[in-house]
Amino acid sequence: MRCEIIAVGTELLLGQIVDTNSSWMGEHLALAGIDSHFQTKVGDNLERIVSCIRLGLERSDAVILCGGLGPTQDDITREAIAEVMGVPLVRDNEIGERIRALFASRGRKMTDNNLRQADVPEDATVIPQMPGTAPGLVCPVGDKVVYAVPGVPHEMREMLNGTVIPDLQKRAGLTAVIRSRVLLTWGHTESGLAEMLAGRIEALDAPGNPTLAFQASGIEGIKVRITAKAGSAEEAEAILADEEARVRAILGDVIFGVDNQTMESVVIDMLRDRGLSIGIAESLTGGLMGARITSVPGASDVFRGSIVSYASDVKFSLLGVPEGPVVTAEAAKAMAEGARKTLAADVALATTGVAGPAEQEGQPVGTVFIGLAMNDTSEAEQVKLPGDRQRIRQYAVISAFNLLRKRLMR
């Protein structure tokens, strides 16, 4: 079964919106065992959308259109599909009432143009999932099928998972289950991880199940994806668990989490399990550490607070850092010690360094010192971080949390 993706919207072509929907759909189609060899972007032009649909149906068994289902004049995906099917649009009064009810439930007045979203190509089926006002569509074209889903990501995903992918699997006669697990790593390059796992990847080449793949994720590190195919979900999960154990045996503490975890959520869980609280002192990160840690639900269980001591005199007066250079290991240690004392925390992290654009105190851009105070001792680690000012600051945050993670593992 081959399924093509067409993203509709002139804003995608102009670069005003990044098309993350197509990549998400491609990933989940692959996990469902559906091949997707082509992905296309097209503007809000009826003739060009029709042309893309027809081309897609020539070379694929199914086409998913994403976007262009709204109430405005440039939302013409419905019209394009109807033209390809050779049928008229028909007003679905039940859908119209659902749209009215959605507006009423939100206490908003509905304009009449919203009822355009209830116009459905004759012989098409409305997708039952409808988290927004735009219904999705399943449109038969001979022995092939066209799906239409909204461009709003959470609406698209609900319809893909609820209707489109199960329908594609049914049409393809697929009974196998494909599952994946993502191992999150920090501190190694993609090439370094590939070298460490080269023997395991080679051993998996012949059987082809499970498989290992790498995904660079910028400031979040490198992801190692394990994908398994089996006759049932239970069998697939067992394969994943076995392979995860093998990969962990090779990579060790380079792996910091799994799937939707983040470095900060892992650290919070570790602190909570140990009954420890944490305080933070930030210089070059300017509050980013506090922002990331408080983005995790339940962070208040362990997080005491963050002191953004950006100016040197604040480091001296508030944190007790000895007067002198502040981009040093000693300053980072003193900041951590001061934060632990001031915030009455069991553990404290601190960051100081040079994010750019120019060197400071003789230290080059990208030089960062991380201070850690715990168990009545303190230490500092120096790291050299790449990238522009924003990336250096973000890398410093996750590097600091990673240092604490490793110490807590001891």
What's the confidence (pLDDT) of residue 166?
Answer: 94
- Per-position DSSP letters for 222-265, written without gaps between them: EEEEEEEEESSHHHHHHHHHHHHHHHHHHHGGGEEEETT--HHH
In the chain, the percentage of residues whose pLDDT exceeds 90 is 88
Which stretches of 86-127 are DSSP H helices?
93-105
The span from the CA of 331 to the CA of 328, in Å, is: 5
Instruction: Summarize the confidence of residues 196-211 as an average pLDDT.
Output: 93
Mean pLDDT of the chain, nearest integer: 95
How many residues can be counted in the chain? 410
pLDDT at 269: 97
In one letter, which amino acid is 316? F
d(C-alpha 262, C-alpha 402), whole Å:
11
Which residue spans within 81-151 are E strands per DSSP? 89-91, 119-121, 125-126, 137-141, 144-149
Q: Using one digit for the tens of pLDDT, what is the confidence trace for 309-364? A: 999 999 999 999 999 999 999 999 999 999 999 999 999 999 999 999 999 999 99
* Per-residue pLDDT at 220: 86
Q: Summarize the confidence of residues 147-176 as an average pLDDT.
A: 94
Residue 290 — φ and ψ, nearest 5°?
-65, -40
Domains in the chain, CATH or no CATH each: 3-172 (3.40.980.10), 177-258 (3.30.70.2860), 263-409 (3.90.950.20)
What is the pLDDT averaged over residues 28-39?
90
Name the helix (H) or strand (E) containing 39: strand 39-42
pLDDT at position 80, please?
98
Q: Dihedrals φ, ψ of 192, to 5°?
A: -65, -45
What's the mean pLDDT in 175-186? 89
